[in-house]
Amino acid sequence: MPYRRREVLKSVGVAGAGGIALSNEQYSDTEGGDYPPGQPPRGDPRPYDASTTRRVPDEYDSIQSAVDDAEPEDLVLVDPGVYEEAVEVLETPRLTIRGTDRNEVILDGGFEREDAVFVTADDVVLENLTARHYTRNGFFWTGVSGYRGSYLTAYNNRLYGVYAFDSVHGKFEQSYASGHTDSGFYVGQCEPCHAIVENVRAENNAIGYSGTNAGGYLTVRDSVWRHNMGGIVPNSLDTEANPPQDAARIENNLVESNNNADAPDAAFGYAAFGTGINVAGGRDNQVVGNTVRDHANFGIVLVPMIDKNVYQPANNRVFDNDVSGSGRADLALGAPQAGGNRFLDNVADSARPASLTGGFSLLGGDPWVTLVLLEQFMQLDAGESPRGDWQTAPEPPFEELETMPEAETTPPREAIRRRSQ
Protein backbone atom coordinates (compact mmCIF):
# COMPACT_ATOMS: atom_id res chain seq x y z
CA MET A 1 0.00 0.00 0.00
CA PRO A 2 1.62 3.27 -1.05
CA TYR A 3 2.08 5.87 1.65
CA ARG A 4 -0.35 8.73 1.07
CA ARG A 5 0.33 11.59 3.40
CA ARG A 6 -2.79 13.48 2.49
CA GLU A 7 -5.02 10.54 3.35
CA VAL A 8 -3.29 10.12 6.66
CA LEU A 9 -3.78 13.78 7.45
CA LYS A 10 -7.44 13.54 6.60
CA SER A 11 -7.88 10.43 8.71
CA VAL A 12 -6.62 12.13 11.83
CA GLY A 13 -8.99 14.99 11.37
CA VAL A 14 -6.65 17.75 10.38
CA ALA A 15 -8.01 18.26 6.90
CA GLY A 16 -8.47 21.93 7.61
CA ALA A 17 -4.79 22.28 8.19
CA GLY A 18 -3.95 19.96 5.36
CA GLY A 19 -2.86 22.67 2.98
CA ILE A 20 -0.38 24.03 5.48
CA ALA A 21 0.81 20.59 6.41
CA LEU A 22 1.32 19.59 2.79
CA SER A 23 3.20 22.74 1.97
CA ASN A 24 5.37 22.21 5.02
CA GLU A 25 6.07 18.66 3.89
CA GLN A 26 8.12 19.85 1.00
CA TYR A 27 10.86 21.18 3.22
CA SER A 28 10.45 19.14 6.37
CA ASP A 29 10.43 15.66 4.85
CA THR A 30 13.86 14.66 3.59
CA GLU A 31 12.67 11.28 2.26
CA GLY A 32 16.00 9.77 3.15
CA GLY A 33 18.08 12.43 1.38
CA ASP A 34 20.38 14.88 3.09
CA TYR A 35 18.12 17.86 2.43
CA PRO A 36 14.45 18.35 1.63
CA PRO A 37 13.49 19.33 -1.91
CA GLY A 38 11.15 22.25 -1.34
CA GLN A 39 11.31 25.72 0.15
CA PRO A 40 10.62 27.15 3.56
CA PRO A 41 8.62 30.38 3.58
CA ARG A 42 10.80 33.36 2.73
CA GLY A 43 10.19 37.05 2.96
CA ASP A 44 10.62 39.41 0.04
CA PRO A 45 14.13 40.74 -0.56
CA ARG A 46 14.66 43.95 1.39
CA PRO A 47 15.67 47.19 -0.31
CA TYR A 48 19.09 48.54 0.48
CA ASP A 49 19.14 51.52 2.83
CA ALA A 50 21.47 53.66 0.79
CA SER A 51 22.73 53.16 -2.70
CA THR A 52 24.10 55.20 -5.56
CA THR A 53 22.54 54.98 -9.00
CA ARG A 54 25.05 54.99 -11.84
CA ARG A 55 23.45 55.62 -15.22
CA VAL A 56 24.56 54.21 -18.54
CA PRO A 57 25.15 55.84 -20.98
CA ASP A 58 24.47 59.22 -19.30
CA GLU A 59 27.32 58.94 -16.79
CA TYR A 60 29.31 55.99 -18.16
CA ASP A 61 29.84 55.00 -21.75
CA SER A 62 29.67 51.29 -20.98
CA ILE A 63 28.06 49.00 -18.44
CA GLN A 64 31.49 47.63 -17.52
CA SER A 65 32.87 51.06 -16.66
CA ALA A 66 29.90 51.70 -14.36
CA VAL A 67 30.40 48.33 -12.73
CA ASP A 68 34.09 49.06 -12.22
CA ASP A 69 33.25 52.29 -10.39
CA ALA A 70 30.40 50.89 -8.33
CA GLU A 71 30.33 50.22 -4.60
CA PRO A 72 28.40 47.40 -2.92
CA GLU A 73 24.60 47.92 -3.00
CA ASP A 74 24.80 50.38 -5.90
CA LEU A 75 22.45 50.31 -8.86
CA VAL A 76 23.79 50.39 -12.42
CA LEU A 77 20.81 51.63 -14.40
CA VAL A 78 21.06 51.11 -18.15
CA ASP A 79 19.03 53.01 -20.70
CA PRO A 80 17.84 51.51 -23.99
CA GLY A 81 20.50 50.65 -26.52
CA VAL A 82 22.55 47.81 -27.93
CA TYR A 83 25.63 47.26 -25.79
CA GLU A 84 28.34 45.31 -27.52
CA GLU A 85 30.26 44.22 -24.47
CA ALA A 86 30.83 41.32 -22.08
CA VAL A 87 30.31 42.53 -18.53
CA GLU A 88 32.20 41.02 -15.59
CA VAL A 89 31.26 41.51 -11.95
CA LEU A 90 34.13 39.91 -10.13
CA GLU A 91 34.55 41.78 -6.88
CA THR A 92 31.60 44.03 -6.01
CA PRO A 93 28.99 42.23 -3.92
CA ARG A 94 25.34 43.25 -3.64
CA LEU A 95 25.46 45.10 -6.95
CA THR A 96 22.35 45.49 -9.12
CA ILE A 97 22.51 45.89 -12.90
CA ARG A 98 19.12 46.87 -14.28
CA GLY A 99 17.82 47.93 -17.64
CA THR A 100 15.12 50.56 -17.89
CA ASP A 101 13.33 48.53 -20.59
CA ARG A 102 13.73 44.78 -20.79
CA ASN A 103 13.30 44.52 -24.54
CA GLU A 104 15.27 47.65 -25.42
CA VAL A 105 18.36 47.22 -23.26
CA ILE A 106 20.26 44.62 -25.24
CA LEU A 107 23.66 43.14 -24.59
CA ASP A 108 24.94 41.81 -27.89
CA GLY A 109 27.79 39.29 -28.07
CA GLY A 110 28.19 39.60 -31.82
CA PHE A 111 28.87 35.84 -31.92
CA GLU A 112 32.36 36.51 -30.55
CA ARG A 113 32.09 37.58 -26.89
CA GLU A 114 31.67 34.84 -24.29
CA ASP A 115 29.15 35.87 -21.59
CA ALA A 116 26.81 38.83 -21.51
CA VAL A 117 27.23 39.17 -17.72
CA PHE A 118 29.69 36.98 -15.82
CA VAL A 119 29.37 37.16 -12.03
CA THR A 120 31.65 35.82 -9.32
CA ALA A 121 30.68 38.29 -6.57
CA ASP A 122 28.01 37.46 -4.01
CA ASP A 123 24.43 38.75 -4.04
CA VAL A 124 24.57 40.34 -7.48
CA VAL A 125 21.18 41.05 -9.06
CA LEU A 126 20.54 41.29 -12.81
CA GLU A 127 17.20 42.76 -13.86
CA ASN A 128 15.31 43.79 -16.95
CA LEU A 129 17.96 43.00 -19.56
CA THR A 130 18.24 41.08 -22.81
CA ALA A 131 21.33 39.10 -23.84
CA ARG A 132 21.87 37.63 -27.28
CA HIS A 133 24.51 36.12 -29.52
CA TYR A 134 27.18 35.22 -26.95
CA THR A 135 29.45 32.27 -27.56
CA ARG A 136 28.98 30.89 -24.04
CA ASN A 137 26.14 32.11 -21.84
CA GLY A 138 23.65 34.88 -21.39
CA PHE A 139 23.66 35.56 -17.65
CA PHE A 140 26.13 33.51 -15.63
CA TRP A 141 26.77 33.34 -11.88
CA THR A 142 29.44 30.96 -10.61
CA GLY A 143 30.77 30.23 -7.14
CA VAL A 144 28.54 32.76 -5.43
CA SER A 145 26.30 32.88 -2.39
CA GLY A 146 23.29 34.99 -3.30
CA TYR A 147 22.11 35.71 -6.82
CA ARG A 148 18.95 36.77 -8.58
CA GLY A 149 17.89 37.16 -12.20
CA SER A 150 14.57 38.92 -12.76
CA TYR A 151 12.90 40.03 -15.99
CA LEU A 152 15.75 38.68 -18.08
CA THR A 153 15.63 37.56 -21.69
CA ALA A 154 18.40 35.39 -23.08
CA TYR A 155 18.27 34.13 -26.62
CA ASN A 156 20.53 32.54 -29.20
CA ASN A 157 23.57 32.21 -26.98
CA ARG A 158 25.59 29.09 -27.57
CA LEU A 159 25.42 27.27 -24.24
CA TYR A 160 23.08 28.44 -21.46
CA GLY A 161 20.64 31.29 -21.14
CA VAL A 162 20.30 32.00 -17.42
CA TYR A 163 22.89 30.00 -15.55
CA ALA A 164 23.98 29.47 -11.93
CA PHE A 165 26.83 27.05 -11.30
CA ASP A 166 28.30 26.08 -7.94
CA SER A 167 26.16 28.81 -6.43
CA VAL A 168 23.67 28.89 -3.58
CA HIS A 169 20.84 31.09 -2.31
CA GLY A 170 19.42 32.25 -5.61
CA LYS A 171 16.37 32.92 -7.69
CA PHE A 172 15.41 33.16 -11.34
CA GLU A 173 12.04 34.76 -11.98
CA GLN A 174 9.97 36.44 -14.69
CA SER A 175 12.56 35.47 -17.27
CA TYR A 176 12.69 33.94 -20.73
CA ALA A 177 15.29 31.84 -22.55
CA SER A 178 15.37 30.41 -26.06
CA GLY A 179 17.80 29.12 -28.65
CA HIS A 180 20.51 27.54 -26.47
CA THR A 181 22.40 24.35 -27.25
CA ASP A 182 22.33 23.24 -23.63
CA SER A 183 19.55 24.61 -21.45
CA GLY A 184 17.56 27.80 -21.19
CA PHE A 185 17.76 27.78 -17.39
CA TYR A 186 20.39 25.91 -15.45
CA VAL A 187 21.09 25.41 -11.77
CA GLY A 188 24.04 23.08 -11.34
CA GLN A 189 26.40 21.57 -8.79
CA CYS A 190 24.84 22.77 -5.57
CA GLU A 191 23.63 20.90 -2.52
CA PRO A 192 21.82 22.36 -0.79
CA CYS A 193 21.02 24.93 -3.46
CA HIS A 194 18.51 27.12 -1.60
CA ALA A 195 17.27 28.21 -5.01
CA ILE A 196 13.98 28.95 -6.76
CA VAL A 197 13.15 29.05 -10.46
CA GLU A 198 9.65 30.45 -10.92
CA ASN A 199 7.48 32.22 -13.45
CA VAL A 200 9.94 31.68 -16.26
CA ARG A 201 9.48 30.42 -19.79
CA ALA A 202 11.86 28.37 -21.92
CA GLU A 203 11.35 27.58 -25.61
CA ASN A 204 13.42 26.29 -28.50
CA ASN A 205 16.35 25.17 -26.35
CA ALA A 206 17.98 21.78 -26.26
CA ILE A 207 16.59 21.51 -22.73
CA GLY A 208 14.29 23.91 -20.94
CA TYR A 209 15.62 23.43 -17.41
CA SER A 210 18.69 21.40 -16.59
CA GLY A 211 19.90 20.80 -13.06
CA THR A 212 23.02 18.66 -12.87
CA ASN A 213 23.78 17.40 -9.37
CA ALA A 214 21.56 20.17 -8.00
CA GLY A 215 19.14 19.74 -5.14
CA GLY A 216 18.21 20.52 -1.60
CA TYR A 217 15.80 23.40 -1.07
CA LEU A 218 15.53 23.66 -4.86
CA THR A 219 12.16 24.46 -6.41
CA VAL A 220 11.19 24.79 -10.08
CA ARG A 221 7.62 26.02 -10.22
CA ASP A 222 4.85 27.96 -11.92
CA SER A 223 6.70 28.12 -15.23
CA VAL A 224 6.24 27.22 -18.89
CA TRP A 225 8.55 24.79 -20.70
CA ARG A 226 7.65 24.09 -24.28
CA HIS A 227 8.98 23.38 -27.75
CA ASN A 228 12.41 22.44 -26.45
CA MET A 229 13.95 19.07 -27.27
CA GLY A 230 13.40 18.07 -23.64
CA GLY A 231 11.49 19.95 -20.94
CA ILE A 232 12.63 19.78 -17.31
CA VAL A 233 15.66 17.55 -16.77
CA PRO A 234 17.25 17.25 -13.33
CA ASN A 235 20.20 14.93 -13.86
CA SER A 236 23.26 13.23 -12.37
CA LEU A 237 26.65 13.46 -14.06
CA ASP A 238 30.19 12.61 -13.05
CA THR A 239 31.51 15.66 -14.85
CA GLU A 240 30.29 17.88 -12.01
CA ALA A 241 30.85 17.54 -8.29
CA ASN A 242 28.58 15.72 -5.84
CA PRO A 243 26.55 13.30 -7.94
CA PRO A 244 23.88 12.07 -7.83
CA GLN A 245 21.30 14.81 -8.22
CA ASP A 246 19.19 14.78 -5.09
CA ALA A 247 16.03 16.49 -3.84
CA ALA A 248 14.44 19.03 -6.16
CA ARG A 249 10.77 19.93 -6.18
CA ILE A 250 9.16 20.44 -9.59
CA GLU A 251 5.76 21.93 -9.05
CA ASN A 252 2.85 23.38 -10.97
CA ASN A 253 4.57 23.85 -14.30
CA LEU A 254 3.08 23.71 -17.77
CA VAL A 255 5.27 21.37 -19.80
CA GLU A 256 4.20 20.81 -23.39
CA SER A 257 5.38 19.66 -26.79
CA ASN A 258 9.05 19.29 -26.03
CA ASN A 259 9.69 17.51 -29.32
CA ASN A 260 11.51 20.23 -31.16
CA ALA A 261 13.99 18.61 -33.53
CA ASP A 262 14.96 22.03 -34.85
CA ALA A 263 16.14 23.31 -31.48
CA PRO A 264 19.89 23.83 -31.20
CA ASP A 265 21.71 21.04 -29.40
CA ALA A 266 25.26 20.11 -28.54
CA ALA A 267 25.61 18.25 -25.28
CA PHE A 268 22.58 16.48 -23.97
CA GLY A 269 19.37 17.67 -25.55
CA TYR A 270 18.50 14.86 -27.91
CA ALA A 271 18.98 12.30 -25.16
CA ALA A 272 15.91 13.89 -23.57
CA PHE A 273 14.05 14.47 -26.84
CA GLY A 274 10.31 14.05 -26.58
CA THR A 275 10.17 14.00 -22.79
CA GLY A 276 8.39 16.49 -20.55
CA ILE A 277 9.84 15.99 -17.10
CA ASN A 278 12.84 13.68 -17.20
CA VAL A 279 14.53 12.78 -13.92
CA ALA A 280 17.80 11.30 -15.18
CA GLY A 281 19.48 9.43 -12.38
CA GLY A 282 18.02 11.64 -9.65
CA ARG A 283 16.95 10.78 -6.14
CA ASP A 284 14.45 12.07 -3.60
CA ASN A 285 12.76 14.47 -6.01
CA GLN A 286 9.13 15.55 -5.87
CA VAL A 287 7.26 16.06 -9.14
CA VAL A 288 3.89 17.43 -8.16
CA GLY A 289 0.91 19.16 -9.71
CA ASN A 290 2.33 19.71 -13.18
CA THR A 291 0.41 19.73 -16.45
CA VAL A 292 2.43 17.73 -18.97
CA ARG A 293 1.17 17.08 -22.48
CA ASP A 294 1.98 16.16 -26.05
CA HIS A 295 5.41 14.57 -25.90
CA ALA A 296 6.66 12.13 -28.53
CA ASN A 297 8.16 9.74 -25.99
CA PHE A 298 7.24 10.13 -22.32
CA GLY A 299 5.38 12.74 -20.29
CA ILE A 300 7.07 12.17 -16.94
CA VAL A 301 9.93 9.70 -16.87
CA LEU A 302 12.43 8.50 -14.29
CA VAL A 303 15.39 6.91 -15.97
CA PRO A 304 18.88 5.76 -15.03
CA MET A 305 21.75 8.04 -16.02
CA ILE A 306 24.75 6.33 -17.52
CA ASP A 307 28.03 8.20 -17.13
CA LYS A 308 31.22 6.82 -15.62
CA ASN A 309 28.86 5.49 -13.00
CA VAL A 310 25.28 4.38 -13.47
CA TYR A 311 22.91 6.51 -11.41
CA GLN A 312 19.60 4.81 -10.83
CA PRO A 313 16.53 6.85 -9.94
CA ALA A 314 15.49 6.29 -6.35
CA ASN A 315 12.91 7.52 -3.86
CA ASN A 316 11.32 9.99 -6.26
CA ARG A 317 7.68 10.88 -5.79
CA VAL A 318 5.46 11.75 -8.74
CA PHE A 319 2.02 12.79 -7.67
CA ASP A 320 -1.03 14.85 -8.60
CA ASN A 321 0.20 15.50 -12.15
CA ASP A 322 -2.02 15.69 -15.23
CA VAL A 323 -0.22 13.96 -18.08
CA SER A 324 -1.63 13.37 -21.54
CA GLY A 325 -0.85 12.96 -25.22
CA SER A 326 2.43 11.10 -24.90
CA GLY A 327 3.60 9.03 -27.87
CA ARG A 328 4.94 6.11 -25.88
CA ALA A 329 3.71 6.50 -22.30
CA ASP A 330 2.46 9.31 -20.07
CA LEU A 331 4.31 7.94 -17.04
CA ALA A 332 7.49 5.90 -17.27
CA LEU A 333 10.10 4.35 -15.05
CA GLY A 334 13.24 2.96 -16.64
CA ALA A 335 15.31 -0.02 -15.54
CA PRO A 336 17.47 -0.40 -13.60
CA GLN A 337 16.00 1.68 -10.80
CA ALA A 338 16.97 1.64 -7.16
CA GLY A 339 13.47 1.47 -5.70
CA GLY A 340 11.29 3.79 -3.69
CA ASN A 341 9.93 5.59 -6.76
CA ARG A 342 6.24 6.23 -6.25
CA PHE A 343 3.58 7.42 -8.67
CA LEU A 344 0.43 8.53 -6.86
CA ASP A 345 -2.83 10.17 -7.86
CA ASN A 346 -1.72 11.18 -11.33
CA VAL A 347 -4.12 11.59 -14.25
CA ALA A 348 -2.54 9.60 -17.07
CA ASP A 349 -3.67 7.30 -19.88
CA SER A 350 -0.65 5.06 -20.23
CA ALA A 351 2.43 3.91 -18.40
CA ARG A 352 5.57 1.84 -18.76
CA PRO A 353 5.52 -0.36 -16.77
CA ALA A 354 1.75 -0.59 -16.58
CA SER A 355 1.85 -0.84 -12.81
CA LEU A 356 2.46 2.93 -12.56
CA THR A 357 -1.19 3.46 -13.39
CA GLY A 358 -2.47 0.41 -11.52
CA GLY A 359 -2.05 -2.15 -14.28
CA PHE A 360 -0.26 -5.49 -14.24
CA SER A 361 3.47 -5.68 -14.67
CA LEU A 362 6.21 -8.15 -13.94
CA LEU A 363 8.77 -5.35 -13.97
CA GLY A 364 9.72 -2.74 -11.38
CA GLY A 365 11.28 -0.56 -14.06
CA ASP A 366 10.90 -1.02 -17.80
CA PRO A 367 14.05 -1.55 -19.91
CA TRP A 368 12.16 -0.29 -22.96
CA VAL A 369 12.15 3.19 -21.40
CA THR A 370 15.90 3.11 -20.89
CA LEU A 371 16.41 1.76 -24.40
CA VAL A 372 14.53 4.70 -25.91
CA LEU A 373 16.62 7.35 -24.21
CA LEU A 374 19.87 5.41 -24.53
CA GLU A 375 19.35 5.04 -28.25
CA GLN A 376 18.70 8.75 -28.58
CA PHE A 377 21.84 9.48 -26.58
CA MET A 378 23.82 7.21 -28.92
CA GLN A 379 22.45 9.10 -31.90
CA LEU A 380 23.48 12.36 -30.26
CA ASP A 381 26.91 11.03 -29.36
CA ALA A 382 27.47 9.87 -32.92
CA GLY A 383 26.48 13.28 -34.25
CA GLU A 384 23.47 11.81 -36.05
CA SER A 385 20.64 13.45 -34.17
CA PRO A 386 18.61 16.24 -35.72
CA ARG A 387 19.31 19.74 -34.45
CA GLY A 388 19.05 23.38 -35.36
CA ASP A 389 21.54 26.24 -35.38
CA TRP A 390 21.71 28.40 -32.26
CA GLN A 391 22.70 31.45 -34.26
CA THR A 392 19.58 31.38 -36.38
CA ALA A 393 17.04 30.07 -33.88
CA PRO A 394 13.74 32.00 -33.78
CA GLU A 395 13.70 35.26 -31.87
CA PRO A 396 11.57 35.53 -28.71
CA PRO A 397 8.02 36.90 -28.80
CA PHE A 398 9.14 40.22 -27.34
CA GLU A 399 5.61 41.60 -27.20
CA GLU A 400 4.73 38.87 -24.70
CA LEU A 401 7.67 39.51 -22.37
CA GLU A 402 6.68 41.78 -19.56
CA THR A 403 9.13 44.50 -18.60
CA MET A 404 9.92 45.27 -14.97
CA PRO A 405 7.42 47.75 -13.52
CA GLU A 406 8.84 51.07 -12.35
CA ALA A 407 12.34 50.04 -13.28
CA GLU A 408 13.68 53.58 -13.04
CA THR A 409 12.38 54.31 -9.57
CA THR A 410 12.35 51.00 -7.71
CA PRO A 411 15.27 50.92 -5.28
CA PRO A 412 17.74 48.04 -5.58
CA ARG A 413 17.00 45.09 -3.29
CA GLU A 414 18.98 42.22 -1.91
CA ALA A 415 19.17 39.12 -4.09
CA ILE A 416 17.18 36.77 -1.90
CA ARG A 417 16.17 36.32 1.69
CA ARG A 418 18.11 33.53 3.33
CA ARG A 419 16.07 30.93 5.13
CA SER A 420 17.36 32.03 8.52
CA GLN A 421 16.33 35.66 7.99
Partner 1 sequence: MSEAGPLGRIGPLFDHTHDRLTTAIIVVLAALLGLFARWIVADFGVSFLAFLVAAVGSGYLLYRQPSRRAVAAAACYSLAALIAVVPIVYELGLAATVRDPLRHLLSTTDLLLVVAFWLLAAVPALVGYRIDRGPLLPRLRG
Contact footprint for partner 1 (CB under 8 A): 259, 261, 274, 296-297, 327-329, 349-350, 352, 354, 359, 362, 366, 368, 371-372, 375, 378-379, 382, 384-386
Which helix (H) or strand (E) covers residue 378, if one does?
helix 367-381
User: Residue 275 CB, nearest distance to partner 1 (Å)?
Assistant: 12
DSSP class of residue 274 equals T
Residue of 304, 192, 189, 295 whose CA lies nearest to 249: 192
Nearer to partner 1, 347 or 378 (CB): 378
User: Residue 375 CB, nearest distance to partner 1 (Å)?
Assistant: 6
Nearer to partner 1, 195 or 329 (CB): 329
Nearer to partner 1, 79 or 294 (CB): 294
Nearer to partner 1, 142 or 355 (CB): 355
Nearer to partner 1, 214 or 372 (CB): 372
Contact 245, 208 (CB under 8 A): no
Nearer to partner 1, 289 or 386 (CB): 386
User: Residue 384 CB, nearest distance to partner 1 (Å)?
Assistant: 4
Give me the sign of the Cα torsion angle 366, 326, 203, 250. Answer: negative
Cα angle for residues 145, 147, 150 (degrees, 5° grid) = 170
User: Residue 410 CB, nearest distance to partner 1 (Å)?
Assistant: 44
Nearer to partner 1, 59 or 375 (CB): 375
The CB-side HSE value for 58 (13 A sphere, CA atoms) comes to 9
Tell me how far apart the alpha carbons of residues 82 and 105 are, in angstroms, rounded to a whole number.
6
Length of the chain counted residue by residue: 421
User: Residue 360 CB, nearest distance to partner 1 (Å)?
Assistant: 9
How would you label 246-264 residue by residue, b for 16+ Cβ within 10 Å and e otherwise? bbbbbbbbbbbbbbbeebb
Q: What is the three-class DSSP state of 27? A: helix
User: Residue 318 CB, nearest distance to partner 1 (Å)?
Assistant: 19
User: Residue 263 CB, nearest distance to partner 1 (Å)?
Assistant: 13
- The answer for residues whose C-beta is within 8 angstroms of residue 343's C-beta and 6 or more apart is 318, 319, 331, 333, 351, 356, 357
Name the residue type at position 170: G
Tell me how far apart the alpha carbons of residues 144 and 169 are, in angstroms, rounded to a whole number.
8
Name the residue type at position 351: A
Cβ neighbours, 10 Å, residue 420:
5
Residue 177: alpha-carbon gap to chain centroid: 11
Contact 336, 314 (CB under 8 A): no
Nearer to partner 1, 116 or 329 (CB): 329
Nearer to partner 1, 254 or 354 (CB): 354
User: Residue 358 CB, nearest distance to partner 1 (Å)?
Assistant: 13
Give me the sign of the Cα torsion angle 48, 54, 57, 62. Answer: negative
Nearer to partner 1, 261 or 306 (CB): 261
Contact 96, 77 (CB under 8 A): no
User: Residue 366 CB, nearest distance to partner 1 (Å)?
Assistant: 8
Contact 305, 236 (CB under 8 A): yes
Nearer to partner 1, 259 or 337 (CB): 259
Contact 256, 294 (CB under 8 A): yes
User: Residue 395 CB, nearest distance to partner 1 (Å)?
Assistant: 21
User: Residue 69 CB, nearest distance to partner 1 (Å)?
Assistant: 52
